[in-house]
């Protein structure tokens, strides 16, 4: 089977602003899936509400749109029902780290075999530029004219502290590196977090393409991605390092909870009478 880029062509009209960093992420995801020889029917992309969550509309793949911040929970259920699917989640920094923060913690702890790609544009893009959990302390924002009063979340350090299976950072304009990182993240069996720095050309006039070009640097080649302490130190030392910070192979959640040899949940026989009995208790 040979998978082509055209197989992922979607007829849906694109509504991102011209020049948005999301285009680079879209290109890298498509390239990664093609290079992994995954056909569209083998892939499910879950998302919620926002600019980032529009990404699966622009690819011809299986899609599940959940509520804002609930995309990881939806993906967890989907992976348990169909463990043979490659499940990705696309969310903004607001959805993933704000509204969805609690779901993120527990998906990491469970080690669900999904890849969460966070489009980290440091603002709430769709709702027109309010501060998000990753906006810098003191930075003026829409509803914070005197500056954001809270410290930003460090998603990489948080994930490493929880010994998340795979933790990496990419930049939306460096699609070669992002494609490689995404391929590794998808191949990793367990929860993968890829934080993608993404310029929002409409609402963020500080972190432009030129800003990121100037401030980003690769994770040092001598870094040992198996060393959680070194990874944590790296993640807390410089905010704009690109590459793989941490990788640890465990037993993914679906292998731990699904009975041996039972097959995917979707193949289990449905007993309508039992379902009816359960439904009656909630009427
Ligand atoms: C539970 C809930 N809270 C808030 C909203 C309103 N809302 C929709 S999109 C959005 C911002 C999205 O920002 P982000 O997740 O960072 O994604 P982006 O648009 O920047 O890609 C907000 C606040 C909502 N739909 N549901
Ligand atoms: S508002 Fe920002 S994140 Fe949303 S499409 Fe426009 S540039 Fe992209």
Q: What is the pLDDT of residues 4-28, one digit of tens each?
A: 999 999 999 999 999 999 999 999 9
Residue of 164, 172, 166 whose CA lies nearest to 29: 172
Q: Ligand 2 in contact with 22 (CB < 6 A)?
A: yes
Q: Ligand 1 in contact with 69 (CB < 6 A)?
A: yes
CB of 106 closer than 8 Å to CB of 77: no
Task: Return the residue whose CA atom lies nearest to atom 8 of ligand 2.
Answer: 20
Give the C-alpha separation, 253 to 200, whole Å. Answer: 35
Residue of 152, 126, 144 whose CA lies nearest to 52: 126
Q: Compute, in angstroms, the gap from residue 237 CA to the centroid of ligand 2.
A: 28
Q: Which CATH superfamily is domain 5-281 in?
A: Thiamin diphosphate (ThDP)-binding fold, Pyr/PP domains (3.40.50.970)
Q: Ligand 2 in contact with 50 (CB < 6 A)?
A: no
Residue 163 gets the label, from left (phi > 0), alpha (psi -120 to 50) or beta, of left
Provide the pLDDT confidence category of residue 272 given band limits of 50, 70 and 90.
confident
Taking only the tens place, the pLDDT of each residue in 24-59 is 999 999 999 999 999 999 999 999 999 999 999 999
Q: What share of the chain is helix, strand, coil (3-state, %, to 5)?
A: 40, 15, 45
- pLDDT for position 132: 97
- pLDDT for position 252: 93
- pLDDT for position 142: 83
Provide the pLDDT confidence category of residue 283 given band limits of 50, 70 and 90.
confident
Kindly state the average pLDDT of the residues 166-193. 98
Task: Return the residue whose CA atom lies nearest to atom 1 of ligand 2.
Answer: 125
Residue of 51, 50, 100 whose CA lies nearest to 76: 100
What kind and span of H or E run contains 72?
helix 71-81
Q: Ligand 2 in contact with 3 (CB < 6 A)?
A: no
Residue of 141, 247, 135 whose CA lies nearest to 189: 247
CB of 80 closer than 8 Å to CB of 258: yes
The sign of the torsion formed by the CA atoms of 193, 13, 4, 39 equals: positive
The whole-model pTM stands at 0.96
With H, G, I as helix, E, B as strand and everything else as coil, classify residue 243.
strand
Q: Compute, in angstroms, the gap from residue 92 CA to the centroid of ligand 1.
A: 8
Task: Return the residue whose CA atom lies nearest to atom 7 of ligand 1.
Answer: 127
Give the C-alpha separation, 194 to 274, whole Å. Answer: 41
| Ligand positioned closest to the Cα atom of 51 | 1
How many alpha carbons fall within 13 Å on the CB side of residue 141? 24
- pLDDT for position 237: 93
Q: Ligand 1 in contact with 127 (CB < 6 A)?
A: yes
pLDDT for 261 beyond 80: no
- pLDDT for position 267: 85
- pLDDT for position 275: 83
Give the C-alpha separation, 129 to 258, whole Å. Answer: 42
- pLDDT for position 143: 86
Taking only the tens place, the pLDDT of each residue in 87-146 is 999 999 999 999 999 999 999 999 999 999 999 999 999 999 999 999 999 999 888 999
Instruction: Report which of residues 282 and 209 the model is more confident about.
Output: 209
């Amino acid at each position: 089977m040979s998978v082509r880029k055209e197989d992922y062509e979607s007829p849906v009209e694109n509504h991102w602003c011209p020049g948005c960093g999301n285009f680079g992420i879209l290109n890298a995801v498509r390239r990664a899936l093609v290079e992994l020889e995954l056909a569209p029917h083998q892939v499910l992309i879950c998302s919620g509400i926002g600019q980032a969550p529009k990404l699966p509309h622009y690819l011809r793949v299986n899609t599940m749109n959940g509520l804002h911040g609930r995309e990881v929970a939806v993906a967890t259920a989907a992976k348990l029902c169909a463990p043979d699917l490659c499940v990705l989640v696309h969310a903004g920094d607001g959805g993933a780290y704000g509204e969805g923060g609690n779901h993120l913690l527990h998906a990491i702890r469970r080690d669900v075999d999904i890849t969460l790609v966070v489009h980290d544009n440091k603002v709430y893009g769709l709702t027109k530029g309010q501060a998000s959990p990753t906006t810098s302390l003191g930075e003026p924002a829409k509803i914070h004219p005197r500056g954001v009063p809270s410290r930003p979340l460090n998603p990489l350090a948080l994930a490493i502290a929880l010994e998340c299976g795979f933790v990496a950072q990419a930049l939306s304009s460096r699609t070669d590196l992002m494609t490689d990182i995404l391929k590794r993240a998808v191949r990793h069996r367990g929860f993968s977090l890829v934080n993608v720095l993404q310029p929002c050309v409409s609402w963020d006039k500080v972190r432009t393409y030129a800003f990121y070009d100037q401030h980003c640097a690769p994770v040092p080649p001598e870094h040992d991605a198996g060393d959680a302490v070194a990874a944590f130190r790296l993640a807390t030392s410089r905010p704009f390092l690109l590459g793989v910070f941490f990788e640890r192979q465990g037993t993914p959640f679906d292998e731990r909870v699904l009975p041996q040899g039972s097959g995917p949940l979707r193949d289990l026989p449905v007993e309508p009478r039992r379902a009816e009995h359960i439904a009656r208790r909630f009427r």
